Amino acid sequence: MPDLDKQLYHAREYQGIQQIIGPLVFIEGIHNVGYNELVELRDENGHERLGVILEASEGAAVVQVFEGTTGLSLNATRVRFRGKALQLPVDTEMLGRVFDGLGRPIDGGPGPVAEERWDVNGSPINPTSRTYPTKFIQTGISAIDGMNTLVRGQKLPVFSGAGLPHNQVTAQIVRQARIVGEDVNFAVVFAAMGVKHDVARYFIDSFEETGVLENVVMFLSLADAPSVERLMTPRTALTMAEYLAFRENMHVLVILTDMTNYCEALREISTLRGEIPSRKSYPGYLYSDLASLYERAGMIENSTGSITQVPILTMPNDDISHPIPDLTGYITEGQIVLERELSQKGIYPPIAGLPSLSRLMKDGIGPGMTRDDHAHIASQLFAAYAKVKDVRALASVIGEEELTPLDNTYLKFGEAFESEFLSQREDENRSIADTLDIGWKVISLLPKDELHRISEEELVKYYGK
């Protein structure tokens, strides 16, 4: 198609649509439009809404309308096709601003004056262009730093449940996260999907208190916004993050909350389109779709910036095998799992000892990065805590009195591990050395010959000190 023709097409406005089902609009008698391109719809009052083409066929299209279809009529709706995918203007001036899920300012300020507009769908990063993340980020939280170390460029989600303090934990990470001995150009990109106003408020206040607000870009699609808009929110946010990281060489921490709401919106659309459902009626492409978000993290050659992602999701019914946490866990580089049982015991942060994992930990710790004993003490803590769980199960059957002295020692260790190592205040920022020392303190409750994963030299150096 010659370019002039194309331009003429994009100037063309159609009146009238054929069918509306929920957020989907079916339109016929149009020129041939491109898959995934942006659509503008105007209702009778001239109010503009945006949508995107889900399915294109000859002279017809299925459009998903982000702002919902309330108030649209079949005859009076006017439609224009932009001929390109949704784009986000990107500029460093957007730092400190608040936008909606589609990237329009909602803080009362003017739209950003940007020289560039980036396609929100992004493109896959060539694996050969990536650099492997190895820089340890100190979050000041022992359960993370000591046992599930976060590194720069990692995607590490928080698996939570309703009523658990995931917001507090995440806010604490944002406040405290830093690279030891480095002062850098950093930014936070915060995307809220379907969360309540007060949750967004909590984060804003927390950013304000720590004085980082000028370094935060927010994309809010809150609980009262149309659910379809949530499908675009993480994409606009990640496009912003990519610009800041890979063009402006900043270190960007991306918080996506709550991914469960995102997935629900995806299921809603999929069901309305009559697609063949997969597990729990989520679409078969849920994995690919989530991957297209989570994989937009990392570091690349030719740029000193990085994108570290901390998506938050609430596990429906605390079920970690539910498709949303399950597929997320298959894509992300580990997970921080919050546990109800710990939370009920009054332990904050209630980070579950065993199911939490950081896959990139092995490359971010050790001599020169954290401390030479880090890998072994972490592994030993995991092993010993696993044993504690066994002993507790046994104790609940036969009673603590019947346990062997060794088993009782394990119980003591378990208590100390939870109350001294895991547990800390919301404003407590522990250095990695402190974290490891506390780890040694609690592990030293166990006799030396139970510590199979620690070397002789380390025992001499740290045990019981």
Chain positions 321 to 340 lying near other proteins, rule: CB under 8 A, are 321-323, 326-327, 329-331, 333-335
Residue 263 backbone phi and psi in degrees, to 5: -65, -35
Site for other proteins in 137-166 (CB under 8 A): 153
Query: Nearest approach, Cβ of 58 to other proteins (angstroms)?
Result: 4
Q: Is position 185 an interface residue for other proteins (rule: CB under 8 A)?
A: no
What is the DSSP secondary structure assignment for residue 458, as one 8-state letter?
Answer: H
Stretch touching other proteins by CB under 8 A, among 72-80, 185-193, 269-277, 343-351 = 269-277
Q: Which of 32, 70, 73, 419 is close enough to bind other proteins by CB under 8 A?
A: 32
Q: Is position 184 an interface residue for other proteins (rule: CB under 8 A)?
A: no
Query: Nearest approach, Cβ of 141 to other proteins (angstroms)?
Result: 20
Going by C-alpha positions, the residue among 369, 388, 390, 391 that lies closest to residue 380 is: 388
Stretch touching other proteins by CB under 8 A, among 72-80, 104-112, 250-258, 300-308 = 300-308
Longest dimension (CA), the chain: 87
Query: Nearest approach, Cβ of 369 to other proteins (angstroms)?
Result: 14
Report the C-alpha gap between 460 and 29 in whole angstroms. 81
Site for other proteins in 42-81 (CB under 8 A): 55-59
Which is it for strands 150-151 and 13-15: parallel, antiparallel or unpaired? Answer: unpaired
At 365, is the secondary structure helix, strand, or coil?
Answer: coil
Query: Nearest approach, Cβ of 315 to other proteins (angstroms)?
Result: 12
Whichever of 204 and 371 has its CB closer to other proteins, that residue is 371
Q: How open is the CA angle 324-21-85, to the nearest 5 degrees?
A: 65
Question: Count residues contacting other proteins (CB under 8 A)?
Answer: 85
- The 370-409 site mask, x for binding other proteins (CB under 8 A), equals -----x---x--xx--xx-----xx--xx---xxx--x--
Report the C-alpha gap between 324 and 313 in whole angstroms. 8
Stretch touching other proteins by CB under 8 A, among 116-124, 174-182, 340-348, 432-440 = 116-124
Q: What tokens appear for 235 in the block?
A: 């994409």
Q: Is position 129 an interface residue for other proteins (rule: CB under 8 A)?
A: yes
Residue written as token pair 């970690």: 320
Going by C-alpha positions, the residue among 400, 386, 396, 379 that lies closest to residue 454 is: 379
Tell me the C-alpha to C-alpha distance, in Å, between residue 127 and each of 48, 154, 248, 360.
Answer: 40, 15, 21, 16
Question: Left (φ > 0), alpha (ψ -120 to 50) or beta: where does 281 sit?
Answer: left
Stretch touching other proteins by CB under 8 A, among 166-174, 220-228, 355-363, 419-427 = 355-363
Going by C-alpha positions, the residue among 169, 223, 218, 214 that lies closest to residue 193 is: 223
What amino acid occupies position 42? R
Stretch touching other proteins by CB under 8 A, among 128-136, 138-146, 156-164, 204-212 = 128-136
Q: Which of 66, 219, 246, 440 is close enough to bind other proteins by CB under 8 A?
A: 246
Q: Is position 463 an interface residue for other proteins (rule: CB under 8 A)?
A: no
Q: Which of 123, 181, 346, 425 is close enough to bind other proteins by CB under 8 A?
A: 123
Tell me the C-alpha to C-alpha distance, in Å, between residue 190 and each of 58, 133, 201, 217, 222.
Answer: 39, 22, 12, 6, 12
Q: Is position 8 an interface residue for other proteins (rule: CB under 8 A)?
A: no
Query: Nearest approach, Cβ of 333 to other proteins (angstroms)?
Result: 7
Q: Is position 84 an interface residue for other proteins (rule: CB under 8 A)?
A: yes
